[in-house]
Amino acid sequence: MAGISLTPTMMSANAVSEDKFLSENGKLILKNVRLETGFEYEEDEVVSTKTDLFLVEIENGKISKIAPNNPKAKAVDAKGFLMLPAFRDMHIHLDKTFYGDKWQAVRKRKGGVKGMIALEEQIMPEILKNSTFKAEKMIELLQSKGTAFARSHVNIETTSKLDSLKNLQKALDHKKKSFGAEIVAFPQHGVFYKNSVPYLKEAAQMNIDFIGGVDPFSIDGAIEKTIDFTVQLALDHQKGIDIHLHETGESGLKTVEYLIDKVNENPLLKGKTFLSHCFVLGKLDKTKQEEIAEKLGNAQVGIVSTIPFGNLIMPLPTLQKHGVTVYTGNDSIVDHWNTFGTGSVLEKANLYAQLYGQSTEFLLSRSLRMATANLLPLDDKGIQQWPKIGDDADLVLLNASCSAEAVSRISNVESLIYKGNVVF
């Protein structure tokens, strides 16, 4: 491991005190830091990525200096590891997990999403007993994989009421020096199906960022009524919107189109509205995919895809071509929905590159965007755009020669720094 690394629990008995890394005036100085500086071309093709070693200073949570490397400087030795923007998991459920508790596989599903709602009504009281502890353990897993920020959906429904939210907020408060988050108030059991309305209204006045939703037609039986409520609640409290949409038929497409119309009617929601999963896009023919992608791009409605595989391939490159913001996340790590989450969004970037044939140096380097929520060290012309002086000191050090290799090989994370604090 790198000399800069800590254990994921921040300060266990054998961890090194963070003070060791700070100079007398509170700066964190790193030497032998590998940064990408440009592309190497043969004819018109990018064949490799140029890098060099630098000295990087961090002060007050920001990058304060980027200088030519000085191997003799009194500084933490980054050992030539590649520095990239810290990773961001943009769709996860930190509030309801088995992670950190005893192993449980997924039970046979009965009755689709409504069947899962019935199951949750049974198991949520038990999950809530130690959900703060499990959320902290899951955050530590994410940190060990290079992630310093997550958008977490939190159950708001008649069984949990606001307890799931309060428990997660405790965990995030405990981790606030080492991890950042956005919270989506998520009516997993429907807005009207189980009448989450009073709890959503209360949650909207608390410290949350997005109003969520799930399958308005198949759960609530009413696309317009549910979307209208969600949009109005978001507008009333200056929140964003992030709706789970699993429906793949006509109702799924109608939901997408109706939400686009509502965002166009309320431009304050542009850039703040997302559809998670949105599997219906993978079921449309190519012409319709292009048409909807263009509408999403114009309305600035983003898609958060957990990059499913199997018989459903989402048209993510088509969305990106039309300027749609595309994010990814782990969704479940180990819970009653799924047990395959590793906690790594770099692995999601790798899966994206494999699924869409992004195997060249250039395309692999672009695929890193899936792990970083679209922040890349080099722009498409190979001009360095990150890091810059004044940027947040949210960064990850990997054992890789360049971002293309990091994506292709899912390179090992050696250290994570969040707002200048050495986390892992």
Q: Kindly state whether residue 252 falls inside one of the protein's structural domains.
A: yes
Same-domain status, 92 and 220: yes
Give the pLDDT confidence of 120-151 residue by residue, as tens digits: 999 999 999 999 999 999 999 999 999 999 99
Q: Which pLDDT does position 20 carry in this prediction?
A: 53
Q: Which residue has the tokens 């088995």?
A: 98
> Measured between alpha carbons, how far is 214 from 188 in angstroms, rounded to an integer?
6
Q: Kindly state whether residue 233 falls inside one of the protein's structural domains.
A: yes
pTM for this prediction: 0.94
Same-domain status, 201 and 95: yes
> Measured between alpha carbons, how far is 341 from 338 in angstroms, rounded to an integer?
7
Amino acid at 180: G
Q: Which pLDDT does position 57 carry in this prediction?
A: 97
Same-domain status, 149 and 56: no
Q: Which pLDDT does position 72 carry in this prediction?
A: 96
| Cβ-proximal residues to 268 (8 Å cutoff; 6+ apart), any chain | 235
Which CATH number goes with the domain that contains 214? 3.20.20.140
Which of 343, 365, 394 is a domain's end point? 343
Same-domain status, 36 and 150: no
Which CATH number goes with the domain that contains 391? 2.30.40.10
Enumerate the H helices of 182-305 as residue ranges: 197-203, 223-236, 250-265, 286-299
Q: Quick one: average pLDDT of 284-297?
A: 98
Same-domain status, 99 and 76: no
Same-domain status, 111 and 172: yes
Q: Which pLDDT does position 309 carry in this prediction?
A: 72
Same-domain status, 134 and 25: no
Do residues 90 and 59 lie in contact, with contact meaning Cβ atoms separated by under 8 Å? Answer: no
Do residues 31 and 55 lie in contact, with contact meaning Cβ atoms separated by under 8 Å? Answer: yes
pLDDT band at 2 (very low <50, low <70, confident <90, very high): very low
Adjacency order of strands within the sheet including 240-245: 87-92, 147-155, 180-186, 210-214, 240-245, 273-277, 301-304, 326-327
Q: Quick one: average pLDDT of 94-109?
A: 91
Q: Which pLDDT does position 261 carry in this prediction?
A: 98
Q: Kindly state whether residue 315 falls inside one of the protein's structural domains.
A: yes
Q: Kindly state whether residue 362 falls inside one of the protein's structural domains.
A: no
pLDDT band at 108 (very low <50, low <70, confident <90, very high): confident
Same-domain status, 241 and 300: yes
Same-domain status, 100 and 29: no
Which of 343, 365, 392 is a domain's end point? 343
Same-domain status, 280 and 262: yes
Question: What is the distance, to the nearest Å, from the Cα of residue 198 to the centroid of all Cα atoms in its chain?
Answer: 28
Question: What is the distance, to the nearest Å, from the Cα of residue 312 to the centroid of all Cα atoms in its chain?
Answer: 21
Alpha-carbon torsion angle 354, 356, 359, 361, nearest 10: -120
Q: Kindly state whether residue 304 falls inside one of the protein's structural domains.
A: yes
Q: Kindly state whether residue 64 falls inside one of the protein's structural domains.
A: yes
Which of 343, 368, 403 is a domain's end point? 343
Mean pLDDT of the chain: 93
Q: Which pLDDT does position 4 carry in this prediction?
A: 46
DSSP code for 279: G
Burial class (CB in 10 A: 0-12, 13-18, 19+), 129: exposed
Q: Kindly state whether residue 214 falls inside one of the protein's structural domains.
A: yes
Residue by residue, DSSP assigns 30-80 as EEEEEEEEEEEEETTEEEEEEEEEEEEEEETTEEEEEEE--TTSSSEE-TT
Structural domain count, the chain: 2
pLDDT band at 38 (very low <50, low <70, confident <90, very high): very high
Same-domain status, 124 and 23: no
Give the pLDDT confidence of 319-366 residue by residue, as tens digits: 999 999 999 999 999 988 899 989 999 999 999 999 999 999 999 999
> Measured between alpha carbons, how far is 90 from 264 in angstroms, rounded to an integer?
24
Q: Kindly state whether residue 115 falls inside one of the protein's structural domains.
A: yes
Enumerate the H helices of 239-383 as residue ranges: 250-265, 286-299, 316-321, 345-355, 361-367, 369-372
Q: Is the pLDDT of residue 110 over 60?
A: yes
Question: First and final CA of the chain: distance in angstroms?
Answer: 10
Question: What is the distance, to the nearest Å, from the Cα of residue 267 to the centroid of all Cα atoms in its chain?
Answer: 24
Burial class (CB in 10 A: 0-12, 13-18, 19+), 123: middle
Same-domain status, 389 and 293: no
Q: Which pLDDT does position 268 carry in this prediction?
A: 98
Kind plus residue range of the DSSP H or E element containing 125: helix 112-128
> Measured between alpha carbons, how far is 56 from 32 in angstroms, rounded to an integer?
9
Q: Quick one: average pLDDT of 173-182?
A: 97
DSSP code for 201: H
Q: Count other Cβ atoms within 10 Å, centred on residue 284.
A: 19
In percent, the amount of the chain with pLDDT more than 70 equals 94
Q: Is the pLDDT of residue 21 over 60?
A: no
Question: What is the distance, to the nearest Å, from the Cα of residue 318 to the centroid of all Cα atoms in its chain?
Answer: 20
Burial class (CB in 10 A: 0-12, 13-18, 19+), 127: buried
Three-class SS state of 183: strand
| Cβ-proximal residues to 285 (8 Å cutoff; 6+ apart), any chain | none
pLDDT band at 11 (very low <50, low <70, confident <90, very high): very low
* Residue numbers of the domain that contains 220: 88-343
Q: Which pLDDT does position 310 carry in this prediction?
A: 73
Q: Which pLDDT does position 170 carry in this prediction?
A: 98
Q: Count other Cβ atoms within 10 Å, centred on residue 214.
A: 25
